[in-house]
Structure 1
Amino acid sequence: MTHPLTPDAQRACLRALASAAARVGFDVPLAKYTQVQATEVIEAVTMAYEKSLHVQSEPSNKPNKTLTDDAPFDDPIPF
């Protein structure tokens, strides 16, 4: 079952992707990632996705505002 992501959750997943890609190197094409590098990217995005689901499922929790304003992908996500 697919869970729709809120704009904050989408940004969290994109930030996780950017962070993992930065560790590998932005100049390395995705097709050239090693299995370890690809797994690191997948795990980073999956963990951000799971965290967003957890935050969304807890009615008493407000969205986590630990993300910094200078992070990549801060542009608004249209709906």
Structure 2
Amino acid sequence: MTHPLTQDAQRSCLRALASVADRIGFDTPLGHYNQAQATEVIEAITQAYEASVRGQSNPVGYRLAPPFDGFENDTIPF
């Protein structure tokens, strides 16, 4: 399932791309990136996207339940 990107999320993804491109060099065309550089771009944008999705689905002040750790109370019926 894809999530539409808000303008803030789009800016976040563009900032991630710009950050990687700055390290690699803006004068290097995207088509000339080696595999490691291309992977770095993909990872940076994906992390920015995922952070945006988490921020949209988990607003500030709302906490998810902690993950199960094997010590759950077995007497609770749910």
Q: TM-score range by the shorter chain?
A: 0.7 to 0.9
Secondary structure, aligned partner of 1:4: coil
* Equivalence for 2:12: 12
1:2 and 1:30 mapped to 2: Cα distance? 25
Mapped pair 1:25 → 2:25: yes
1:24 and 1:15 mapped to 2: Cα distance? 14
* Equivalence for 1:76: none
- Consecutive unaligned residues in structure 1, runs of 5 or more: 63-79
Mapped pair 1:57 → 2:57: yes
Which digits, 9 at most, give the CA deviation of each residue in 1:3-57, with x for residues without a partner? 1011111100000000011111000011110100000000000000000000000
Letter of the 2:49 counterpart: Y
**Aligned alpha-carbon RMSD (Å):** 1.2
Letter of the 2:55 counterpart: V
Runs of 4+, deviation exceeding 6 Å: none
Paired residues, number = 61
Mapped pair 1:43 → 2:43: yes
Which one has more relative contact order, counting CA pairs under 8 Å at least 6 apart? 1
- Consecutive unaligned residues in structure 2, runs of 5 or more: 62-78
TM-score (norm 1): 0.73
TM-score (norm 2): 0.74
